[in-house]
Amino acid sequence: MYWCGINAAYLGLRLIISGQGKLSSNPSAIKKVQQQPQNFRMFANNMSNIKRALYNLCMAYVGARIAASTEAIQSAQQSAGEETKSSAGDKYETGREMMQQETNRNMAQLTEANKLKIALSQIAADGPPLASVQPGSLAITNNGKFYIAISAGALLYNNETYFAVSMASPIGRQFQGKKSGDNFTLNNKVYIIQSIL
């Protein structure tokens, strides 16, 4: 429960510093925050750095997909141009049709990658911890660490594995609106949310 306490204290600290809500004038809440370990600010900064790094890894994943699709489209178009100069008859038509199918497939992949980029741009890269899982959250569970952003698979950062999942994915839908301490079952595996960053 250490993570949960740090999470709650961080939210309390933000409210005290910003002067929002009744918490800023609540002496017991201020005292509670002051009693947290002295390395709390370093912990909060580290969590923010992790989320920023995961966001950047997702951006790099999207960038690589866009670059690969663009390159494949250009290559197919170049091949089609060369085929036009050197072929005739049925062989030409078959080759041209195959290249057009390849171009269409890569165009669809490029469109999907651009959608991922737009979805990612709407997420706060290093936003503060929230009470429930939302896009941009980092959910720590007993069965892995999940960055709720886009479906980019396993991401490695500082020798730790994180799973980038979208809110629309099966596991993302299970996470939606859940709070620290909640659990869900997916594919006969129980996930207990230990903290949300």
Distance CA 150, CA 59 (A): 10
Query: Does 145 score more than 50 pLDDT?
Result: yes
67 CB-near residues (< 8 Å, 6+ apart): none
SS3 195: strand
Structure confidence at residue 119 (pLDDT): 94
The pLDDT score that the predictor gives to residue 143 is 97
Could you tell me how many residues make up the chain? 197
Angle between helices 89-121 and 40-86 in degrees, nearest 10? 160
Kindly tell me if the per-residue pLDDT of 99 is higher than 60: yes
In the chain, the percentage of residues whose pLDDT exceeds 70 is 69
Distance, CA of 143 to chain centre = 17
Instruction: Give the three-state DSSP class for 23.
Output: helix
Residue 32, pLDDT > 50, answer no
Burial of 42 (0-12, 13-18, 19+ CB in 10 A): exposed
User: What pLDDT sits at residue 96?
Assistant: 72
Average pLDDT over residues 138-165: 96
Select the more confidently predicted residue: 24 or 106: 106
Beta bridge partners of 195: 140
What is the overall mean pLDDT for the chain?
78
pTM to 2 decimal places: 0.69
Residue 20's pLDDT band (boundaries 50, 70, 90)? very low
| pLDDT bracket for residue 130 (50, 70, 90) | confident
**Which range among 103-107, 154-158, 177-181 shows the weakest confidence by mean pLDDT?**
103-107
Angstrom distance (rounded) from CA 61 to CA 37? 36
For residue 185, what are the β-bridge partners?
190
For residue 185, how far is the Cα from the chain centroid? 21
**129 Ramachandran zone, left/alpha/beta (phi>0; psi -120 to 50):** beta
Confidence category of residue 115, pLDDT binned at 50, 70, 90: very high
Say how far apart CA 133 and CA 167 lie, in whole Å: 9
